């Protein structure tokens, strides 16, 4: 598998660390229920999936990668943090 890192170019997945679903947003505040949902519940779709990869042996950017979990085809990869203003 090759991850098209927007900073480094297409690189072997060996350089990356996988984390998982990119959708859940960490809730602030004291809502334990929201935190439980964020931390533990997963859609786990069979199909298109937005996921987080860390280019640990490259630029050390966290990436938001769109990959199909059935075909493994990657259709998009971008930095997880917002692009800096030009």
| Residues that bind another protein in the complex, under the rule CB under 8 A | 1-2, 10, 12-14, 17-21, 26, 28-32, 35-36, 39-46, 49, 51-52, 54, 56, 60-62, 67, 69-72, 74, 79-82
Helix (H, G, I), strand (E, B) or coil at 76: strand
Closest CA to 54 of 4, 81, 17: 17
Q: If residue 21 lies in a helix (H) or strand (E), which one and from where to where?
A: strand 17-21
Q: How far is the CB of 24 from another protein (least distance, A)?
A: 11
Q: How far is the CB of 8 from another protein (least distance, A)?
A: 15
């Amino acid at each position: 598998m090759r991850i098209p890192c927007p900073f480094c170019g297409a690189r072997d997945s060996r350089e990356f660390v996988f984390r998982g679903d990119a959708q859940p947003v960490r809730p602030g505040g004291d809502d334990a229920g929201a935190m439980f949902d964020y931390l533990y519940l997963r859609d786990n779709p069979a199909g298109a999936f937005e996921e987080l990869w860390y280019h640990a042996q490259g630029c050390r950017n966290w990436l938001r990668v769109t990959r199909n979990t059935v075909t493994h085809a990657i259709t998009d990869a971008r930095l997880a943090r917002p692009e800096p203003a030009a």
